Amino acid sequence: MEITLSSILTYLNAGFIQRAFIIGIIVAVLCSILSVYIVLKRLSLIGDGLAHTAYGGIAVGLAVGGLVPQYASISPTLVGGALVVLGSIMITKTIRSGRFTGDAAVAIFLMLGLSTGVFVTSVTLNYGFNLTALLFGSILLVTWNQIYLAAFFLAMTAVVVFVFYKPMLYTMFSELQARAAGIVTWRFDYLLAILAGLTVIVSIPIVGILLISSLLVLPALSSIQVARSFKQTILLSPVFGLASVVIGMFVSIIVPNAAPGGSIVLVGLVLLVTAMGARKIRSFL
Mean pLDDT by 10 residues, the chain (285 residues): 67 82 90 87 77 80 68 67 84 81 80 83 65 71 85 91 84 78 82 86 76 84 89 90 91 83 89 91 77
User: Which DSSP symbol is given to 100?
Assistant: S
How far is CA 229 from each of CA 35, 98, 232, rounded to the nearest angstrom?
A: 16, 31, 5
pTM of the model: 0.83
Quote the CA–CA distance of 211 and 214 in Å, as a whole number.
6
Residues 6+ apart with CB under 8 A from 178: 167, 170, 171, 185
Give residue 232's domain range: 5-280
Give the pLDDT score at 236: 92
Give the pLDDT score at 60: 79
Give the pLDDT score at 129: 58
Give the pLDDT score at 247: 93
- Would residue 184 count as lying in a domain? yes
Q: What is the CATH number of the domain that holds 167?
A: 1.10.3470.10
Number of structural domains (the chain) is: 1
- Would residue 141 count as lying in a domain? yes
- Would residue 285 count as lying in a domain? no
Residues 6+ apart with CB under 8 A from 157: 30, 33, 34, 195, 199
Quote the CA–CA distance of 177 and 182 in Å, as a whole number.
9
Residue type, 220: A
Give the pLDDT score at 270: 94
CA atoms within 13 A on the CB side of 82: 9
- Would residue 67 count as lying in a domain? yes
